[in-house]
Amino acid sequence: MEKQIEYEALREEILSSMQIVKSYRSLLYTIVIAALAFAFDKDEAILFLVPFGAIIPIYLLAMHQIDSTMRLGAYIYVFIEPGSECQWETRLYKYDNLYQNQYGTKKSSIDPYWCMSFCCLLLSALKLDYCNMDFNFYITVIFQIVFMIVCIYIFIKKRPDYLVTKEKYINEWKEVQRVENERDEI
């Protein structure tokens, strides 16, 4: 019965975590739209880069939350599901491994972050005054390039691959289980 109680608590935590990811996405849209409205009002190219102050941190928070959810799922797979009627994580793991070649590796969707970043960069580039290449023009271009490079790096580097990450956490939890079993035998 203890496993069932622990399973229910972890299930609630996973559901809460996924709701947080959705909230982050809503927050992303709200902040970016407000910042873009402000930028359109002021009609300055550099102001279209302000949303990156929200896009990057919100992306990192969302990916951390997704990573934590995968860690919880791996814990359930290793510690709770063996010998239990609840087999969701076990079956999901088997499914993912069985169909990984058909669907490729499963990566979390970051399309809204790419889209928002691309739109902000594009709008900033369109608002530049190409006839007046002064100091502000070059500063804006430098910021555009920096944000583009930073976003590409972060979006690729911090994007969790479900299969790889889940496998990593399963192996780590199995190691924890092995250490606990060795300690219990002593």
pLDDT of residue 106: 58
For residues 59 and 12, what is the distance between their CA atoms, to the nearest angstrom? 23
pLDDT of residue 95: 80
140-170 pLDDT, tens digit per residue, is 999 999 999 999 999 988 888 888 888 999 9
pLDDT profile of the chain (186 residues), mean per 10: 83 93 95 96 94 95 93 90 80 77 58 92 93 92 95 89 88 92 80
pLDDT of residue 21: 93
Q: Provide the whole-model pTM.
A: 0.84
> Is the Cβ–Cβ distance between 44 and 139 less than 8 Å?
no
2-16 pLDDT, tens digit per residue, is 888 888 899 899 999
Opening angle at CA 167, ends 182 and 158, nearest 5: 125
For residues 171 and 156, what is the distance between their CA atoms, to the nearest angstrom? 24
Burial 85-116 (b: 16+ CB within 10 A, else e): eeeebbeebeebeeeeeeeeeeebebebbeeb
What tokens appear for 24 in the block?
């982050």
> Is the Cβ–Cβ distance between 57 and 112 less than 8 Å?
no
Query: Could you give the 3-state DSSP secondary structure of residue 100?
Result: helix
Determine the longest span between alpha carbons in the chain, in angstroms.
Answer: 78
Nearest to 80 by CA among 11, 15, 147, 23: 11
pLDDT of residue 94: 80
Query: Could you give the 3-state DSSP secondary structure of residue 1?
Result: coil
pLDDT of residue 12: 93
